[in-house]
Amino acid sequence: MFVEIEASEEKHYTAWLTTDLDTLAGVCADVIVRRDELYAEWGEEERWVSTNVTVATVTTTVDVQNGSIDISARAQAQAEELLTAAGWRAVDDWNWEQVPTGYTATVEPANGEDGA
């Protein structure tokens, strides 16, 4: 059971890079940036959890259907370029963490404003 913590003034965002063909609308890797909220399980430490609030989306040209070993590296590199061009920057030097559908990275608006 999750409990929402008192609303935080701090904003937190996660970039979700999808490389799993079964979860993509097309064949190219895409990225969505979602706003996160602070949650905690009873007796557990607080942690950030992504919401359904999408504040940015980009689609790469990396075709994930061929199963090439370098897909992840190419998709990550292109996602970083596209997100940077869209006004986002990594919080931890583009430290991508693997998840079942691809990768996540903590990001923030380069100008301090997300518009959402």
Cβ count near 103 (within 10 Å): 21
Cα-Cα-Cα-Cα dihedral sign, residues 99, 47, 93, 88: positive
CB 47 within 8 A of CB 39: yes
Question: What does the alpha-carbon distance between residue 110 and residue 96 come to, in Å, rounded to a whole number?
Answer: 18
Tell me what pLDDT residue 4 has. 43
Domain extents in the chain: 2-109
Residue 112 has pLDDT above 60, yes or no: yes
The pTM of this model reads: 0.83
What percentage of the chain has pLDDT greater than the value 70?
Answer: 86
**pLDDT tens, residue by residue, 13-60:** 999 999 998 999 899 999 999 999 988 777 778 888 999 999 999 999
User: Phi-psi category of 93—alpha, beta or left, where left has phi over 0 and alpha has psi -120 to 50?
Assistant: left
